[in-house]
Amino acid sequence: MYIEQVQKNLSDWWRYLIGLVIAVSGVFVFSIPHGAALIAKIATGDVDMDKIAANDTAYLMGMFEPNLNFLYILLPFTGGLIFLYIAVRLLHKQTLTNLTTSRSKIDWKRVFLAFLLWGFISTSMTLIDISMSPEDYVYNFEFDRFIILAAIAILLVPLQTSFEEYMFRGYFMQGIGNLVRNKFVPLIITSVAFGLLHLSNPEVDKLGNIIMIYYIGTGFFLGIITLMDEGMELALGFHAANNLFTALLVTADWTAFQTHSIYKSIADPASMSVNEIIVPVFVIFPILLLIFSKIYNWNNWYDKLAGPVRDISTVDEA
């Protein structure tokens, strides 16, 4: 019903193309402050143009104070979310609730359950690793800078992750599903596209393409819980927790988020074992699927993940 319900709105394929352009335009518009700051920085002459031309991620990330840089990174996602909402309301005459869930209203209990559960698990795993390999971390906590970081993160990280979720698990999932009249195709496309979106992350340069298993695997996990639960609430909570706790707890010189976090990893990324990438996707995520399925009594997995997208009138009659 989550995909089918988009038929209640204006769901012509061309509207989704225009909507995509509008959302991407929002990303570019809200990137202007960062671009202007870069131009001003370059104008001072106090920069290494060779490193900028080579797209040296570590150098580019270090051009601004970490909290300011973090703000610049997150702003474009906020713009994308705002412009996507405008497209959904004006182009499709669709409500935010209809884009989010098949339920009559957004279930915030689901959002917070996923947020707290994954926040607890991911934080516990990080703290265990710190205790087992203390030589790989340095204590990085500075109260004044951390408070500013926390304010930026709490305000903007959920907007960043919500944009990605509404774009992939919401807008694309519903649009592609309604177009091809199948659920498995949009699950595949949105999951792979979500992973490929992270190709430009500095983690890919340091860890190699094997990290794409994690990104694409995470996309599949988020897509599966969205389709099985007939709504995005669990995915919204999980994704927000993943990025928020990461930003606050641990940073490194080679990650997408370089912040005034509590700890800083000084480990050589090349030494990261394959297990650290594989285990979350093939062990932890399946366990989470089992937990959610028991809590929310999921059933009929094949039909929800790979079945046809039926005409809305047929679904209502059933």
Number of H helices, E strands in the chain: 17, 3
Across 44-53, 132-141, 266-275, the highest mean pLDDT is recorded for 132-141
The answer to whether residue 296 scores a pLDDT higher than 70 is yes
How far apart are the C-alpha atoms of 65 and 307, rounded to whole Å?
49
Give pLDDT tens digits for 197-256.
998 887 787 788 889 999 999 999 999 999 999 999 999 999 999 999 999 999 987 777
Report the SS3 class of residue 12. Answer: coil
Answer yes or no: is pLDDT of 318 > 60. Answer: no
Token pair belonging to 168 = 């992939």
Whether pTM > 0.85 for this model: the answer is: yes
Least confident of 81-90, 242-251, 309-318: 309-318
Whether 317 shows a pLDDT value over 60: the answer reads: no
Taking the C-alpha atoms of residue 65 and residue 115, their distance in angstroms, rounded to an integer, is 29
pLDDT at 147 over 60: yes
Return all residues near 152 (Cβ < 8 A) that are at least 6 apart.
67, 70, 71, 74
Facing residues of 251 across strands? 264
250 sits in which H/E element = strand 250-251
Is there a contact between 252 and 205 (Cβ–Cβ < 8 Å)?
no
Q: What's the CA gap between 99 and 12, in Å, rounded? A: 15
Domain boundaries, the chain: 4-317
